[in-house]
Amino acid sequence: MADNTMSDITHTIQLSVAPVFLLSALGTTLSVLTTRLSRIIDRARLVEGRYDSLSEVEQGHARNELGILSRRARLIHRALTAGVGAALSVCVLITVAFVGYIVQANLGVVVAVFFIIAMGLFVFSLVSFMREVVLSLGSLRFGQHAVMKPQAPAPAATAGQKPPG
């Protein structure tokens, strides 16, 4: 009987290893998301701090940038919320697996439901993250404000005149 009990607990631990790896991936994702959110907040504070010293045209650009930063922050917030929900679901499914072992109950369906919830929330988190990245890249101008307009070609020399220069 002792061998059977040890075999059961070993099997339960083995089943909980995959969700633990999922927790690791979720933790890494949450770290990336919090870093992006803090950078968005820092940029928004910088733009807001300079706002009053800007010209009217520049204030219009600043309002536009703040709007984009606000949308990006909301997307990251959604991604973070879903990621935390996914991590909590994984923790609950691991707990349910061990409680099922302790009380000798077959809670496989409950574990499966929490795994499905965790994966759904993780997918939602990643989709929100990708939307934020697309919005971020779409707002870049890559130095367009510094690009000079092309100059008109120099007038062609007429017969008998020297070209300018």
Average of per-residue pLDDT across 107-115: 92
Question: pLDDT of 37-77, one tens digit each?
Answer: 999 999 999 999 999 999 999 999 999 999 999 999 999 99
Question: pLDDT of 117-146, one tens digit each?
Answer: 999 999 999 999 999 999 999 888 665 554
Domain count across the chain: 1
| Helix, strand or coil, per DSSP, at residue 148 | coil
The residue among 138, 132, 98, 131 whose CA lies nearest residue 114 is 98
Share of the chain above pLDDT 70, in %: 79
Give me the sign of the Cα torsion angle 120, 125, 130, 131: positive
Question: pLDDT of 2-29, one tens digit each?
Answer: 566 667 777 677 777 788 889 999 999 9
pLDDT at position 4 is 66
In a domain, 147, yes or no: no
C-alpha distances in Å from residue 131, one per residue of 39, 72, 108: 17, 8, 35
pLDDT at position 155 is 59
In a domain, 150, yes or no: no
CA distance 137 to 38: 17
Segment (H or E) for 149: none
In a domain, 162, yes or no: no
DSSP state of 147: P
Measured in whole angstroms, the distance separating CA 101 from the mean position of its chain's CA atoms is 36
CA distance 120 to 29: 15
Range of the structural domain that residue 104 is part of: 2-138
- Read off the pTM: 0.75
In a domain, 40, yes or no: yes
pLDDT at 153 over 60: no
In a domain, 106, yes or no: yes
Structure tokens at 68: 């984009």
In a domain, 148, yes or no: no
In a domain, 96, yes or no: yes
pLDDT at position 149 is 47
CB contact at 8 A, 130 and 78? no
In a domain, 21, yes or no: yes
pLDDT at 158 over 70: no
